[in-house]
Structure 1
Amino acid sequence: MSDALALVDAHHHVWNLDLRPQPWLDEPGHEPLRRSFSSRALRSAATRPIAGRRLTSTVVVQCMTSVPETRDLLALADSDPLVGAVVGWADLTSPAIGDILDELRARPGGEYLRALRHIVQDESDPEWLQQPAVERGLRAVQDSGLGYDVLIRSHQFPQAIRLAERLPELPLVLNHAGKPPLARRELTDWSQQLRGLARHPQVRCKVSGLVTEADHEKWTVDDIRPVWDVLLSAFGPDRLMFGSDWPVCVLAGGWNRWAATVEELLDGCSATEIHAVLAGTATAFYHLTPAPTKEGTPCS
Structure 2
Amino acid sequence: MTSTAASVLIDAHHHLWDLARRPQPWLDDPALASIRRTFTPDDIRSTATRSIAGRRLHSTVVVQCIPDVPETEDLLALAEREPLIGAVVGWADLTSPAIGDVLDRLLAGTGGTYLRSLRHLVQGETDPGWLQRPDVERGLAAVRDRGLCYDVLVRSHQLGQAIRLAERFPDLPQVLNHAGKPSIARRELADWERRMRLLAGHPHVVCKVSGLITEADHDAWTTTDVRPVWDVLLTSFGPDRLMFGSDWPVANLAGGWDRWAATVDELLNGCAENEIQALVAGTATAFYRLPPVTGAADLTAHARTQDS
Structure 1 residue 289, shift from structure 2 partner: 1.7
Aligned mates of 1:153, 1:108 — CA distance in 2: 33
Choose from 267, 276, 285 the match for 2:269: 267
AA matched with 2:118? L
Aligned mates of 2:109, 2:169 — CA distance in 1: 28
Map of 1:243 onto structure 2 = 245
- Does 1:289 pair with 2:291? yes
AA matched with 1:160? A
Structure 1 residue 28, shift from structure 2 partner: 2.7
Aligned mates of 1:260, 1:122 — CA distance in 2: 31
AA matched with 1:17? L
Give the 4+ runs in structure 1 shifted more than 3 A: none
Choose from 55, 72, 91 the match for 1:53: 55
Residue pairs, 1:153-192, within 5 angstroms: 153-192=155-194
Structure 1: which 5+ residue stretches go unaligned? Answer: 293-300
- Contact in 2 for aligned 1:97/1:137 (Cα 8 Å): yes
- Does 1:25 pair with 2:19? no
Report the 3-state secondary structure (helix = DSSP H, G, I; strand = E; otherwise coil) of the residue aligned with 1:162: helix
- The share of aligned pairs that are identical, in percent, is 69
Map of 1:96 onto structure 2 = 98
Give the count of matched residue pairs. 292
Report the 3-state secondary structure (helix = DSSP H, G, I; strand = E; otherwise coil) of the residue aligned with 1:30: helix
Map of 1:222 onto structure 2 = 224
Report the 3-state secondary structure (helix = DSSP H, G, I; strand = E; otherwise coil) of the residue aligned with 2:150: strand
Structure 1 residue 29, shift from structure 2 partner: 1.1
Aligned mates of 1:85, 1:254 — CA distance in 2: 22
TM-score (norm 2): 0.94
Map of 1:202 onto structure 2 = 204
**Cα deviations across residues 154-193 of structure 1 (Å, max 9, x unaligned)?**
0001111111000100000000000000010010000001
TM-score (norm 1): 0.96
Aligned mates of 1:192, 1:291 — CA distance in 2: 37
**Cα deviations across residues 125-149 of structure 1 (Å, max 9, x unaligned)?**
0000000000000001000000000
**Cα deviations across residues 49-102 of structure 1 (Å, max 9, x unaligned)?**
111111001000000000000000001100000000000000001111111111
Map of 2:301 onto structure 1 = none
Report the 3-state secondary structure (helix = DSSP H, G, I; strand = E; otherwise coil) of the residue aligned with 2:52: coil
Choose from 123, 133, 136 the match for 1:134: 136
- Contact in 2 for aligned 1:174/1:205 (Cα 8 Å): yes
Map of 1:105 onto structure 2 = 107
Map of 1:232 onto structure 2 = 234
Aligned mates of 2:4, 2:101 — CA distance in 1: 38
- Contact in 2 for aligned 1:11/1:208 (Cα 8 Å): yes
- Contact in 2 for aligned 1:280/1:291 (Cα 8 Å): no
Choose from 43, 46, 49 the match for 1:44: 46
Aligned mates of 1:17, 1:194 — CA distance in 2: 36
Structure 1 residue 290, shift from structure 2 partner: 3.1
Map of 2:126 onto structure 1 = 124
Note the aligned Cα RMSD (angstroms): 0.9
Aligned mates of 2:101, 2:115 — CA distance in 1: 14
Aligned mates of 2:191, 2:57 — CA distance in 1: 34
Structure 2: which 5+ residue stretches go unaligned? Answer: 295-308
- Contact in 2 for aligned 1:238/1:281 (Cα 8 Å): yes
AA matched with 1:177? A
Structure 1 residue 291, shift from structure 2 partner: 5.4
